[in-house]
Amino acid sequence: MRGVQVKVPKEINRVVIIDDGFVEGLLYRFGKQDLVVGVGGDSVKKVFEYNFTTRDGEFYEYTNGMNTVRYLFPEADDLPLVTDGKTGINYELLASLEPDLVIVRAGAYAFRAGSEEALDKALGTISSLGIPVFVLYGPTYQDNASVDRIADEIKLIGEIFDEQASANELADYLDGIITDIKTRTAGVPDAEKPRVMEFGLSSTARGEGGAGMAWGLDTIETHFIEDIANAKSPFTGTGAFVVISAEQMLALDPDVIILSTAQGYHPAKEIYTAPYYQNLQELTAVKNKQVFPLPWTPYNWAKRLEYPIEAMIIAKAAYPDKFTDIRVADWVLNFYKKVYKVDDKTAKELRSVQWLDWVEEENF
């Protein structure tokens, strides 16, 4: 996909993956996760927690949050980390692992959008070590950020590991969910579209005098809102992680707020009850209890296999009347079963580690 022909070994017994869980998740589905001998993203190793205290002094704690790959493949915690994404690749360690292939996903945390020069340098260095390196380009590394080519990425990995049938089945399933959402929400006149905004609750933003973070019309976040769910984003600026004030947020006044997991996980209860969000209580979405958190997806820079869950939550939040037949609490269990080929018990545990138990508690 980078215009360079790569000779992929016919037999792959050792692979290093520089990604945040997308490729690792595919290998789990294929039953080939044991081929992974090194990783390049520490979100597949971490276990997260979060807590906050309400205005009334109630303490809420969220524990055992994980990347789905961390739960499904706990052995990843013991794998060598060739880069944590904050520093460069440890090439000495990478070479010592003697991989048959290195797979890099551009757009993941280690090589986020805008790091083209660093990516090119890294690919050249890996190749100079005599190690074949294959590159996938995630949504944020494309001219127009969208999920339209994720199916192509899945199929490429399927070809590399001789799992074409499984890869094609998965790609069709994920594409089918997005198509269904678009079909359900099609044809709504602009004047009748709900105003839906992805909002990042963030201590960093508060430290800079803001209320939170917004994402512009040129981002993957707004692609989910406008192109998939067919809603309307009230924030019409550009760029990602844009710090906005409480006054700006009150002026935008969305009908529905989607809480992203950028800058950490934040539940709806936090914006309703935390003392530092007292100045947002007059928002229409807050007063009407129309705030919905996305699943916990740490380091979700390039979107992973769970991206249809995000799309479904956004679409149902925007148009509940068009999704009355879908109870996300049940739907998401079926999703995990189909994607990862797990049983009901494991599916429920995946729902919990993505901090999605609220969909069951609120009958969403």
Alpha carbon distances (Å) from 359 to 33, 40, 261, 335, 352: 30, 32, 16, 14, 10
Q: Is the pTM of this model over 0.75?
A: yes
Residues 6+ apart with CB under 8 A from 87: none
Chain segment 123-182, per-residue pLDDT in tens:
999 999 999 999 999 998 888 889 999 999 999 999 999 999 999 999 999 999 999 999
Lowest mean pLDDT among 257-271, 318-332, 343-357: 257-271
Q: Is the predicted pLDDT of residue 1 greater than 70, yes or no?
A: no
Q: Does domain 189-361 have CATH number 3.40.50.1980?
A: yes
Cα(114)–Cα(268) distance, integer angstroms: 32
Residue 293 near residue 358 (C-beta atoms within 8 A):
yes
Class of domain 15-173: alpha beta
Q: What is the pLDDT of residue 6?
A: 74
Pairing of strands 101-106, 133-137: parallel
Proportion of the chain above pLDDT 70, given as a percent: 99
Cα 306 → chain centroid: 7
Chain segment 112-124, per-residue pLDDT in tens:
777 789 999 999 9
Looking at the chain, which residues constitute the CATH 3.40.50.1980 domain(s)? 15-173, 189-361
For residues 256-260, average pLDDT: 97
What average pLDDT is seen over the chain?
A: 95
